[in-house]
Amino acid sequence: KAGVTQTPRYLIKTRGQQVTLSCSPISGHRSVSWYQQTPGQGLQFLFEYFSETQRNKGNFPGRFSGRQFSNSRSEMNVSTLELGDSALYLCASSQEGLAGAETQYFGPGTRLLVL
Amino acid sequence: EDKVVQSPLSLVVHEGDTVTLNCSYEVTNFRSLLWYKQEKKAPTFLFMLTSSGIEKKSGRLSSILDKKELFSILNITATQTGDSAIYLCSVDSNYQLIWGAGTKLIIKP
């Protein structure tokens, strides 16, 4: 099976712009979770989508949003970018998500740099 | 507030040494504890622990959970340079994964 794929792999934006990141889960996986990883903070949970519905949400401002399509692919959007949004954004997929206490498979991440 | 604390934050050892990485947690509704290895980008799954006192083992890696004292350890014996990575611990609490900051392990030849 192909693994989790994320596009783009690298992105440079300026403050105030918006960005959309994409994640394609492993075939058959219905849950997609998004994480922000920064050197000082480790991984921070953004949100989880399951069957096109946001099932769980972390403590991030409303500038961070997401959605999931019927084929389980997910997008994450960040509006009005700030310098502090520079990070590695990881998505992870699993069959049933955290509700099933299953392991997640991570994509390679999108490295976002905000100037 | 749920939190997961890993120690040490970084560790440098020589090939062949044995290392023990620690993960302690305080969460509201513990469901499971997971260990991941992150070498370049994507973390890869190592172990999931749900029951106290039962060791999970995979080759030279092993892990055990103590739910009474709220911690887990990850042990790596006969370390190799390929074990150099960041080791991440996360706890599933209320269907959210709470992550530690990771332990950066460097194995010197």
pLDDT number for residue B96: 79
Distance from CA of A110 to the nearest CA of B (A): 9
Query: Per-residue pLDDT tens for B38-95?
Result: 997 789 989 999 888 888 999 999 999 999 999 999 999 999 999 999 999 999 887 7
Nearest CA in chain B to A102: B48
pLDDT number for residue A102: 65
pLDDT number for residue A20: 98
CB neighbourhood size of A10 (10 A) = 9
Can you tell me which residue has the tokens 């997910």?
A: A74
Residue A26 has pLDDT above 70, yes or no: yes
Tokens at A55, concatenated: 């099932």
Residues 45-104, chain B, touching A (beta carbon < 8 A): 45, 48, 50, 88, 90, 92, 95-102
Residue A115 has pLDDT above 60, yes or no: yes
Average pLDDT, chain A: 91
Residue A73 has pLDDT above 60, yes or no: yes
B82 φ, ψ (degrees, to nearest 5): -70, -10
pLDDT number for residue A98: 64
3-state secondary structure of A33: strand
Residue A13 has pLDDT above 70, yes or no: yes
A80 φ, ψ (degrees, to nearest 5): 45, 65
Lowest mean pLDDT, pick from A54-63, A101-110, B16-25, B26-35: A101-110
Q: Shortest CB distance from B95 goes to which of A35, A56, A107? A: A56
Tokens at A47, concatenated: 């949100």
| Mean pLDDT value of segment A73-101 | 88
pLDDT number for residue A99: 56
pLDDT number for residue A61: 95
The length of chain B in residues reads: 109
Residue A65 has pLDDT above 90, yes or no: yes
CB neighbourhood size of A50 (10 A) = 21
Residue A97 has pLDDT above 80, yes or no: no
Q: Which residues partner with A21 through β-bridges?
A: A76
Reported as a pLDDT band with limits 50, 70 and 90, residue A100 is low
